[in-house]
């Protein structure tokens, strides 16, 4: 009986379906390869997008952890939903490739991938395990101009707070917009310096922490994510103050070396420590709020 069930595909439908549809997955790999190369060249090589490969690997690991459940509960998805996702994904992908718009291109690959997974797992199983699929969406880079518009006021605020704090210590520092002058040096608080464009990566890493610690509680996820922007602001203030002090006491060359090799680590380490601290405070204040939904 066991042998017959296995041959018929009832006990492991997912494994047999994946094995029988390997040409489709090969086609998906061919479709995604140029996008991954473009992301590596245009987005992942910059600090604001350096989280991309980490999210891709972590998302794959999360799906791998759920593989036994997928094999046990997989059901064929709705053909209409699969075709809809596939058509939308291919159209968006084509537009992204035609107009060299990596956001659309990556979104198209993501939609095609969802369509293929939905065909194998079904909507019910995907909704029950929604987090890994949502998490992988963070590999889609937001438009640069949009992030610039959204973070411009935050950069001004971070520059103002950092400068005001250092002025109180008696250092010869002044500010004009997002340009900080200290002694004979000038520092421009732009994307690569302020780190405010790392909000997407910080949000993704925070969500991963919440998921691993508290499960897929969307209420608690939404609550803790509300603290991401304040945390990013505090982390960037600390970062800019550190860079200004290194520039003033050790020179511009030392600060540039620090920025190149360690600024991103300082930003994320500070931000993650603050996320952990907020999580502990929330759990202490209201223990029930951090329980999985």
Look at 46 and 139; give whichever has higher pLDDT.
Answer: 139
Final residue of a structural domain among 140, 156, 187: 140
Q: Give dist(CA 224, CA 206) in Å, integer.
A: 8
> Same domain, yes or no, for 282 and 172?
yes
Residues of the domain holding 219: 145-290
Marked catalytic residue, from 193, 219, 226, 286: 193
Domain count, the chain: 2
- HEC string for 150-165: HHHHHHHHHHHHHHHH
Q: Is the pLDDT of residue 147 over 90?
A: no
For the stretch 87-125, pLDDT in tens is 999 999 999 999 999 999 999 999 999 999 999 999 999
Q: Give dist(CA 274, CA 265) in Å, integer.
A: 14
For the stretch 227-238, pLDDT in tens is 888 888 888 888
Marked catalytic residue, from 65, 75, 128, 239: 239
Which of 71-75, 197-201, 230-234, 281-285 is predicted least confidently? 197-201
286 part of the active site: no
Query: What size, in residues, is the chain?
Result: 293
For the stretch 53-78, pLDDT in tens is 989 999 999 999 999 999 899 999 99
46 part of the active site: no
Q: Reduced to 3 states, what is the DSSP secondary structure of residue 217?
A: coil
Final residue of a structural domain among 95, 124, 140: 140
Final residue of a structural domain among 140, 157, 189: 140
């Amino acid at each position: 009986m066991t042998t017959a069930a296995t041959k018929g595909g009832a006990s492991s439908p997912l494994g047999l379906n994946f094995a029988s549809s390997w040409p489709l997955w090969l086609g998906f790999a061919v479709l995604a390869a140029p996008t991954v190369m473009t992301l590596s060249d245009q987005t992942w090589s910059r600090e604001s997008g350096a989280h991309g490969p980490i999210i891709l690997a972590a998302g794959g690991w999360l799906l791998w952890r759920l593989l036994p459940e997928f094999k046990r509960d997989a059901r064929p998805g709705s053909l209409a939903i699969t075709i809809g996702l596939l058509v939308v994904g291919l159209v968006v992908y084509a537009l992204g490739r035609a107009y060299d718009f990596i956001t659309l291109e990556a979104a198209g690959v993501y939609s095609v991938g969802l369509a293929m997974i939905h065909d194998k797992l079904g909507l019910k199983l995907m909704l029950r395990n929604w987090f890994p699929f949502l998490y992988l969406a963070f590999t889609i880079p937001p438009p640069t101009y949009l992030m610039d518009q959204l973070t411009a006021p935050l950069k001004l605020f971070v520059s103002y707070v950092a400068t005001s704090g250092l002025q109180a210590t008696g250092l010869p520092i002044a500010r004009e917009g997002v340009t900080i002058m200290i002694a004979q040096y000038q520092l421009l608080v732009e994307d690569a310096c302020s780190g405010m464009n790392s909000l997407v990566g910080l949000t993704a890493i925070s969500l991963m922490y919440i998921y691993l610690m508290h499960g897929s509680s969307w209420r608690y996820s939404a609550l803790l994510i509300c603290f991401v922007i304040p945390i990013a602001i505090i982390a960037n203030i600390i970062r800019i103050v550190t860079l200004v002090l290194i520039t003033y006491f050790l020179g511009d060359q030392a600060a540039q070396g620090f920025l190149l090799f360690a600024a991103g680590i300082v930003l994320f380490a500070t931000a993650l420590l603050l996320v952990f601290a907020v999580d502990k405070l929330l759990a202490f204040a209201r223990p029930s709020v951090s329980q999985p939904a």
